Amino acid sequence: MRLAEKYVFSSSTVAKIDSDAIRDNGPEYGFELMRKAAKFSFEILKNKKPESIIVFCGSGNNAGEDIYWRHSPLNQA
């Protein structure tokens, strides 16, 4: 069982984890976190075998994963 499947974290806890990871690994690591989130969500959706997927992206801080997913090679699988 993956950590994400076992625990539920508050948004403030996740923000702190993200902030610490970016501080410790450099600003470019934020893109790596988005890539990982996009890949994880893609794998979950792929296992459900949907006929189609529509991605809606907001303009806030949480839109990065959606935009990355939409324009990444993951979307071509």
> CA 8 to CA 41: how far, in whole Å?
16
> CA 21 to CA 24: how far, in whole Å?
5
Residue 3 in any domain: the answer is no
Residue 2 in any domain: the answer is no
pLDDT digits (tens, 9 = 90+) for 51-61: 877 777 766 66
pTM of structure: 0.61
Residue 1 in any domain: the answer is no
Residue 37 in any domain: the answer is yes
Total domains in the fold of the chain = 1
Residue 54 in any domain: the answer is yes
Q: What angle do CA 45, 47, 18 make, to 5 degrees?
A: 50
Q: How confident is the model at residue 4 (pLDDT cuts 50, 70, 90)?
A: low
Tell me the average pLDDT across 53-73.
Answer: 69
Task: State which residues form the domain around 54.
Answer: 8-76
pLDDT digits (tens, 9 = 90+) for 10-49: 888 888 988 999 999 998 998 888 888 878 877 887 788 7
